[in-house]
Structure 1
Amino acid sequence: MPVATPVFDLSHIYKLSPETEDLRVYEKGQIIIEEDNGKLFPPSMTPDMGIGTCLLNERPREWRCNRANVNGAVGAVVIAIQFYRHHNYIANELHELNPCWDDERLYYTARDINIAVFTQIYFYELLPILLGKENMIKHGIISDSDGFRDMYDEDVLPQMTDEYHYALRWFHVIQEADIKMYDNDGYYLNTIPMVNVSLRTGFLPHDENLEKMTQGSFRQYGGGFDHIIDNDVSNKTVSHRLNKIRIKYSCINLT
């Protein structure tokens, strides 16, 4: 049973384990952040660290690869970047409201709020659409209250069952193989194959790609609710340009 719980507590943004690199600034509750083309990103790996999971970066223009413990799949990377930025936004707001707070209090309070926002969206907005709100209340997964609630049990070790990870793979059957890009006004711009931009974090800072992809994430329809994985997802491979590594998503599901 895995003890890393990134879907619940943003541990891929903070720390998966005591051995994970510390990305704190230790000033005003901030975490390390870098500017790239006028936009903010988690710190990138340096050349001596290798290429990480960003196997498809088209260097030298595309060099960014997050040092934070983020899955190389483009959807996971986009969400992680948004919540990574959100931490520092919260810390800044807290510092403005409470200038007497020290770094420790600012950092941990910002972290708690960031995790709470993520968990609220996941449990009370996304999962009820998929599982049914009444079903989730019936089985004690969520509360029937719209106000403050505290269902956390400090005596239970945070962990996930293997079955949970297997069940998440179901989302591949409703995942479209193409990513539709939109501008901030909702106008469709173009379409790119999903397999071409996964494992390619360096693609995001350029040409407003992150912003266009974010717009598409809530404007583009998902696939049908069936048992079929899109052909481009199940049969096309994500290949390193030197052909040293080949990845097929449907095979990953079996591992």
Structure 2
Amino acid sequence: MTAILLFFTLHWFLSLFFHSFFLHRYASHQMYTAKPGWEKTFYFLTWFVQGSSFLVPRAYAVMHRMHHAYSDTEKDPHSPHFFKDIWQMMVHTARIFSGFVTGKNVPDPEFTREYLPVWDKLDKFGHNNITRGFFIAGYVAFYFFFAPSFWWFLLLPIHFLMGPIQGAIVNWFGHKMGYRNYKIEDHSKNTTPWGVLLMGELFQNNHHKDKDNANFARKWYEFDLTFVIMRVMHALRIIRLKPVHLPQQKLKH
């Protein structure tokens, strides 16, 4: 049981970190800069930890930029206010995402003007049913050897769809439940204490108020773990955080 819990926890938080750190705060918003070698490292690790649910960064970034431009309107690719349940929203989002990956859907130029990280070979390898199948087989094998009972196998679908599930949780609850620090046009909210468990991603009202601010926390009781890790990486000169707006967040370069 200990091995399963450890594996699930590591997969959840590593996938979530690279989702937030690389896909969201780098690919979508360019909140920091990184040398080419580090960018490739983050790209590879995002693929590896997301595994069977790997989200191609350029497609994710375009879709997320659309989300900010059209937040909670009919053009928003994943607003929860136009679907009966979270599963319908996930299916709708998956169709748009897949269209951007395959080229069937061509994004408006305004969503591709800013830098988009692209690694064609890894994208083709990672966004491939055979590759995804190997990851799924690996997850199943781990549970086969270490799960104390077959009830634990009910966790496997979460492993299979880890990236999309985490994104759906953020978009559904972050635009439906919680409190607002700022009155803005969309329905974004801060969901506490889940904002902590989702490594800052559920402080959606804060983020939508100032989408270029790398720190999603504002109040004393809000804690953005991803940003804390980014501060450490900045201090170690692994990344270079861009200037942020709040005085307590000013960083020396």
Q: TM-score, normalised by structure 2?
A: 0.22
**More helix per residue:** 2
**More strand per residue:** 1
Q: Which has the larger radius of gyration?
A: 1
